[in-house]
């Protein structure tokens, strides 16, 4: 039955130029939302120093209403004014912020206009003093939000520790639109395209090149595996601040022929088809989208036991959980999968079923719709 009242106007704020995990969640929410109930609008970074803004490009491809923002490093008053103009023009009822940068401007704009503020928390990076101070400011804002959405039980506990009202925190898992993840049987052409020998077991890590992602663990594990295993190829997919350092470490280990650094890849669909094992060697995570995507493509995952990973990955069922930084355990688990193709298939099939049962995006969107309507009561 069609809703008789006017749809709620909800503004999503996100500081990114890439189609990262939270970015995919925003786009897929817009794709699946009931527009009779909710009118979703997105405002995101318009970084003129970046040649290509894949997030805005994807937003436009999906015909999502969008505004470009100028986002500064601390609190950009110009951005606050831009958000205030959007609120007034679009008659916004709810602002949902998806990172610390937009939370700073969104919280001010929401306060000035008496609009409901929902904080969507994906975790904090605390590699530097600046990032640690930023996370403290973010915690101050989050606990004053009208509602907080987190991706795991651990993150919910973190929000309670910073003083957020536990009755206004909800766990809503990152999810997958399974129709977007078609498993192909013929991967020969894709392997040719990326110069990957068909007999090689392809082992990959995907994510920004940043200290918390633990790519140096991946490189060390690769080095140790290559002492006893020959039929493998390692991929590092992503870009970031550590790009030069990672290239140096690979060169020092004389692994240039064995580890392929692919840089940032906007569309990973082809590469997922030829990846045999995904590695998450992170020191910290919320609920990594790459875990869900690998499972959707029926790929086993070996991951650090961080964030909400253990709520989706069951050890020795659909992959392996490893203590953070435990190189020997990573090596042992990966080697077991390299040598056992049937186990890779069995775990991959279980991973896909896990997504079907726990991470259905349509169910996630229905809960989001209910939440917005409850908040407006």
Radius of gyration of the chain, Cα coordinates, nearest whole angstrom: 21
Cβ–Cβ < 8 Å for 334, 277: yes
d(CA 278, CA 271): 11
Picking from 30, 79, 37, the residue whose alpha carbon sits closest to that of residue 55 is 30
Cβ–Cβ < 8 Å for 174, 180: no
Picking from 74, 96, 73, 100, the residue whose alpha carbon sits closest to that of residue 83 is 96
Please state the rounded mean pLDDT for residues 215-224: 96
d(CA 129, CA 274): 39
> Which pLDDT score is estimated for 133?
83
The model's pLDDT over 232-245, given as tens digits with 9 standing for 90+, comes to 999 999 999 999 99
Comparing 8-175+360-376 with 178-358, is the CATH topology the same?
yes
Cβ–Cβ < 8 Å for 286, 292: no
> Which pLDDT score is estimated for 1?
39
User: Tokens standing for 233?
Assistant: 């190829």
Of the chain, the percentage scoring pLDDT greater than 70 comes to 96
pTM of the predicted structure, to 2 decimals: 0.85
Picking from 334, 253, 132, the residue whose alpha carbon sits closest to that of residue 245 is 253
Between 346 and 73, name the one with better pLDDT: 346
> Which pLDDT score is estimated for 135?
84
> Which pLDDT score is estimated for 244?
94
> Which pLDDT score is estimated for 66?
95
Neighbours of 228 (CB within 10 A): 9
In the three-class reduction of DSSP (H, G, I as helix; E, B as strand; rest coil), residue 279 is classed as strand
122, pLDDT greater than 90: no
User: Tokens standing for 282?
Assistant: 């992170």
> Which pLDDT score is estimated for 337?
98
> Which pLDDT score is estimated for 132?
81
What angle do the packed helices 21-32 and 54-61 form, to 10 degrees?
10
d(CA 295, CA 301): 8
Mean pLDDT over the full length of the chain: 92
Please state the rounded mean pLDDT for residues 345-351: 97
Please state the rounded mean pLDDT for residues 97-108: 93
> Which pLDDT score is estimated for 76?
78
User: Tokens standing for 224?
Assistant: 């140790």
Q: How confident is the model at residue 130 (pLDDT cuts 50, 70, 90)?
A: confident
Cβ–Cβ < 8 Å for 31, 39: no
316, pLDDT greater than 90: yes
121, pLDDT greater than 60: yes
In the CATH scheme, what is the code of domain 178-358?
Answer: 3.40.50.2000
d(CA 238, CA 248): 16
Please state the rounded mean pLDDT for residues 17-43: 92
The model's pLDDT over 153-195, given as tens digits with 9 standing for 90+, comes to 999 999 999 999 999 999 999 999 998 998 887 788 889 988 8
The model's pLDDT over 240-291, given as tens digits with 9 standing for 90+, comes to 999 999 999 999 999 999 999 999 888 899 999 999 999 999 999 988 999 9
> Which pLDDT score is estimated for 51?
61
Break the chain into its structural domains and give their ranges.
Answer: 8-175+360-376, 178-358
Q: How would DSSP label each residue in 315-346?
A: BTTTEEEE-TT-HHHHHHHHHHHHT-HHHHHH
Cβ-Cβ contacts under 8 Å for 269 (sequence gap 6 or more): 181
Could you please state the CATH topology (level 3) that the domain comprising 8-175+360-376 is classified under. Rossmann fold (3.40.50)
């Amino acid at each position: 039955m069609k809703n008789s009242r006017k749809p709620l106007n909800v503004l999503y704020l996100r500081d990114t130029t890439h189609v990262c995990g939270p970015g995919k969640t925003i786009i897929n929410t817009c794709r699946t939302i009931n527009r009779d109930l909710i009118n979703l609008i997105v405002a995101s970074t318009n970084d003129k120093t970046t040649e290509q803004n894949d997030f805005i490009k994807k937003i436009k491809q999906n015909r999502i209403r969008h505004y470009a923002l100028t986002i500064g490093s601390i609190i950009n008053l110009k951005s606050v004014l831009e958000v205030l103009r959007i609120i007034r023009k679009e008659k916004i009822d709810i602002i949902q912020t998806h990172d610390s940068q937009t939370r700073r401007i969104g919280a001010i704009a929401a306060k000035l206009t008496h609009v409901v503020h929902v904080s969507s928390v994906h975790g904090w990076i605390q590699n530097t003093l600046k990032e640690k101070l930023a996370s403290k400011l973010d915690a101050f804002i989050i606990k004053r939000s009208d509602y907080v959405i987190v991706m795991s039980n651990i993150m919910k506990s973190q929000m309670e520790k910073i003083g957020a009202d536990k009755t206004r925190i909800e766990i809503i898992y990152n999810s997958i639109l399974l129709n977007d993840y078609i498993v192909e049987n013929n991967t020969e052409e894709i392997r040719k395209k990326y110069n990957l020998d068909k007999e090689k077991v392809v082992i990959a890590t995907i994510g920004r090149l940043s200290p918390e992602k633990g790519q140096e663990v991946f490189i060390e594990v690769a080095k140790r595996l290559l002492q006893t295993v020959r039929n493998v190829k390692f991929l590092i997919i992503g870009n970031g601040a550590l790009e030069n350092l990672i290239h140096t470490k690979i060169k020092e280990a004389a692994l240039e022929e064995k580890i392929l650094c692919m840089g940032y890849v906007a569309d990973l669909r082809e590469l997922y088809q030829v990846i045999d094992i995904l590695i998450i060697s992170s020191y910290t995570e919320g609920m990594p989208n790459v875990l869900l995507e690998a499972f959707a493509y029926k790929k086993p995952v070996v991951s650090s036991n961080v964030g909400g990973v253990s709520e989706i990955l069951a050890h020795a069922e659909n992959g392996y959980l490893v203590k953070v930084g435990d190189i020997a355990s990573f090596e042992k688990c990966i080697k077991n999968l390299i040598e056992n193709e049937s186990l890779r298939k069995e775990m991959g099939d279980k991973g896909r079923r896990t997504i079907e049962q726990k991470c259905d995006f349509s169910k996630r969107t229905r809960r989001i719709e209910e939440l917005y309507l409850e908040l407006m009561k």
